[in-house]
Amino acid sequence: MQLRQSRKKIKQPMNNEELIKAAIRARENAIATYSDFRVGAVVVTKNGKIFTGCNVENSTYGLTMCAERVAIFKALSEGEREFTKIAVVADTPQPCFPCGACRQIIWDFASGSEVICANLNNLVEVFKAEELIPHAFGANNLDHNKK
């Protein structure tokens, strides 16, 4: 009897450099009709799954959705709840940092994550989520959680 060798490839976890490249690829799908400010993001789940996002603008401007939130919401909508890393990339002089709204969403859904901020020129800074939103408002501040 001959043993058949599995053809299934074992997927290696992406390192930060690969995550940044994936975010740069995701950025190519950005809908930045009004600002021309294109952003890409990647979120990594505890099980190593990758979800990408790009910013999506629309005619009202105010309903624009950031790349980080698109990536996180895509993952949440697929049932993912635990995250280890988030990368965000844009063509900025410094690494691209998440906006205030995204910092809140990162705190609420991915507080244990490493947040990798990068630009297209390989400038990278890595933060813990709590460093980006000190004294954060969160679920612990809501009355229904007090007992």
Contact region with Zn ion (CB under 5 A), list: 3-11, 22-30, 94-102, 109-117: 94-102
Q: Which of 32, 99, 120, 136 binds Zn ion (CB under 5 A)?
A: 99
**Residue 117 binds Zn ion, judged by CB under 5 A:** no
- Exposure pattern of 109-139 as b/e (b: 16+ CB <10 Å)? bbeebbbbbbbeeeeeeebebeebbeebeee
- Both tokens of 9, joined, read 């490839």
Query: What is the rounded CA–CA span in Å between residue 10 and residue 27?
Result: 27
Query: What is the rounded CA–CA span in Å between residue 32 and residue 65?
Result: 10
**Residue 22 binds Zn ion, judged by CB under 5 A:** no
Q: Which of 43, 54, 102, 133 binds Zn ion (CB under 5 A)?
A: 102
Active site residue 82: no
With CB atoms as reference, the residue minimizing the distance to Zn ion is 66
Contact region with Zn ion (CB under 5 A), list: 2-10, 14-22, 63-71, 119-127: 63-71
**Residue 43 binds Zn ion, judged by CB under 5 A:** no
**Residue 66 binds Zn ion, judged by CB under 5 A:** yes
Q: Which of 114, 110, 118, 107 shows the shortest CA–CA distance to 128? A: 114
- Exposure pattern of 82-94 as b/e (b: 16+ CB <10 Å)? ebebbbbbbebee
Residue of 68, 125, 130, 131 with catalytic role: 68
Residues contributing to the site for Zn ion (CB under 5 A): 66, 99, 102
Question: Which positions are catalytic?
Answer: 68
